[in-house]
């Protein structure tokens, strides 16, 4: 099974096929596509890929303009960490 992360610009499908075959993975093994976000250089060849691959490929994108937005607030930022350090130093 092969998973493709992002699909590049439109008309790059031939490039994907060649690149996959270079590393010994047949394009026929492609079963899933994950899109990181919706910029044209990340989703451009998706219609072509889905048209050629039909039902054997699933689009596993997070269906958000910027999927990273789903994770904001879950990971502490360095600013929070620095603020905590300053407060602890002050209390010593």
Helix locations, 1-92, DSSP H: 13-22, 40-43, 46-53, 78-91
**How confident is the model at residue 58, as a pLDDT?**
74
**How confident is the model at residue 68, as a pLDDT?**
56
Ordered per-residue pLDDT tens for the chain, 92 residues:
888 888 899 989 889 889 989 999 998 999 888 888 778 888 899 889 888 887 787 766 655 555 555 555 544 555 454 455 555 555 55
pTM assigned to the model:
0.61
**How confident is the model at residue 22, as a pLDDT?**
92
Q: How far is Cα 37 from Cα 63, in angstroms, rounded to an integer?
A: 8
């Amino acid at each position: 099974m092969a998973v493709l992360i992002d699909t590049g610009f439109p008309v790059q499908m031939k490039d994907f096929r060649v690149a996959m075959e270079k590393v010994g993975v047949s394009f026929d093994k492609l079963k899933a596509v994950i899109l990181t976000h919706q910029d044209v250089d990340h989703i451009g060849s998706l219609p072509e890929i889905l048209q050629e691959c039909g039902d054997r490929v699933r689009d596993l994108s997070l269906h958000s303009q910027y999927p990273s937005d789903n994770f904001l607030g879950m990971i502490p930022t360095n600013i929070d960490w620095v603020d905590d350090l300053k407060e602890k130093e002050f209390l010593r």
